[in-house]
Amino acid sequence: MFDVVGIGNLNYDIILTVDHFPEFHEKVNAKGASFGLGGAAGNTISWLAHMGLRTGFIGAVGNDDIGKAHIRYFRDIGTDVSGIRVVEEPSGLAVIMVRGEDKRIVKYPGANLRKELDFGYLSRTRHVHLSSNPAEIIEMVVKFAAEKDITVSVDIGEMPIPRDVEGKVDYLMMNEDEYRRKFGSLDLSLSAAKNVVVTLNGGGAVLRDENGDTFEVRGLSAEVIDSTGAGDSFDAGFIYGILKGWSPVDAAKLGMLLAYLTVQKVGARSAILPIEGIVKEAERLGMELPFGKNP
Ligand SMILES: Nc1ncnc2c1ncn2[C@@H]1O[C@H](COP(=O)(O)OP(=O)(O)O)[C@@H](O)[C@H]1O
Ligand SMILES: [Mg+2]
């Protein structure tokens, strides 16, 4: 049995911090560079595995050094890799240029386009988390999960929401700019999803639960060094809390903490801590979260 199966992309991120972005035919020197394994759902699952949950992944990598590195990393942290296909296309890549809070990204999806759903694999989990997936995959997974009593979170990002399954999504997640572009305002009643979680620029989140009640979580804001993966970290904290039976507000607070830690380091996974380290950070910041309590 798994607690969480992630479905999404596995990429290799090359992150360059610059003072200005190159213009036409211009070369610029980066101030700093960092590279490592990335991909939104992969980042979220990496946090959850470090936090002690039983994790699996559905995705695809190339038969190359990057693909091998993904599989080795997941094995090392205890994430099951039997749902990851190794295919002939090269592994996915992302080149990310960061200038303060602004970033420019070029992505190569490559092997990621070859992921295949395995419903037998999915039936072994309590929860499934989707991030950066085509509409067909979202639709099939949400319908399957609804039939099987598996809870689903979808970080929909910039993608359109598949309308016929929106109401079956347990936790619909995105950032405030993405929500405003989809719905025209930050009115969380406009989405049909059961619960809506929208992260705020500068840190924190607003949420709407199944009763229509809304909540706001704020209080942790850091100077951003590199926001790559911060939304994925938020998702991990939120999912962890929900699966431990915490209130959505406490879950969002943990999400806020993990995003806060992530924006202060370069790289999508460089802030990842085991659960003991997260408990210490929460204490240091004076946050009261129900770690270790039985709901
Ligand atoms: N200054 C900040 N301090 C703390 N957290 C921040 C800050 N700025 C943004 N965040 C958080 O970082 C996350 C960024 O996620 P998102 O905007 O979805 O970007 P991405 O999906 O590219 O990682 C959100 O959870 C947001 O609330
Ligand atoms: Mg995001």
Classify residue 16: in a domain, yes or no: no
Q: Summarize pLDDT for 15-33 with one digit per residue, the tens.
A: 999 999 999 999 999 999 9
Cβ pair 12, 66 in contact under 8 A: yes
The number of distinct structural domains making up the chain is 1
How much is the pLDDT for 295?
Answer: 56
Ligand nearest to the CA of 198: 1
Residues of the chain with pLDDT under 50: none
Q: Which residue puts its alpha carbon closest to atom 27 of ligand 1?
A: 203
Ligand 2 centroid to Cα of residue 294, in Å, is: 30
Ligand 1 centroid to Cα of residue 222, in Å, is: 10
- Beta strand 2-8 with 125-131 is parallel
Classify residue 293: in a domain, yes or no: no
Listing DSSP states for 98-151 in one string gives EETTEEEEEEE-GGGGG----HHHHTTEEEEEEES--HHHHHHHHHHHHHHT-E
How much is the pLDDT for 241?
Answer: 98
Distance, CA of 200 to CA of 284 (rounded, Å): 23
CATH number at residue 87: 3.40.1190.20
Classify residue 66: in a domain, yes or no: yes
By three-state DSSP, how is residue 33 classified?
strand
Residue 13 annotated to the active site: no
Atom of ligand 1 nearest to the CA of 224: 1
Ligand 2 centroid to Cα of residue 46, in Å, is: 16
Classify residue 258: in a domain, yes or no: yes
Classify residue 195: in a domain, yes or no: yes
Classify residue 239: in a domain, yes or no: yes
Ligand nearest to the CA of 100: 1
User: Which residues have C-beta atoms less than 6 Å from ligand 1?
Assistant: 175, 199-204, 220-222, 224, 227, 229-232, 234, 259-260, 263
DSSP conformation class of 183: H
- Closest by Cα among 231, 244, 229 to 279: 244
Cβ pair 5, 128 in contact under 8 A: yes
User: What's the pTM?
Assistant: 0.95
Q: Which residue puts its alpha carbon closest to atom 19 of ligand 1?
A: 231
Given the residues 155, 226, 232, 250, the one annotated as active site: 232
Range of the structural domain that residue 246 is part of: 2-10+39-91+112-284
How much is the pLDDT for 90?
Answer: 98
Classify residue 187: in a domain, yes or no: yes
How much is the pLDDT for 100?
Answer: 85
Classify residue 101: in a domain, yes or no: no
**Residue 287: exposure state from Cβ atoms within 10 A (0-12, 13-18, ≥19):** middle
Ligand nearest to the CA of 175: 1
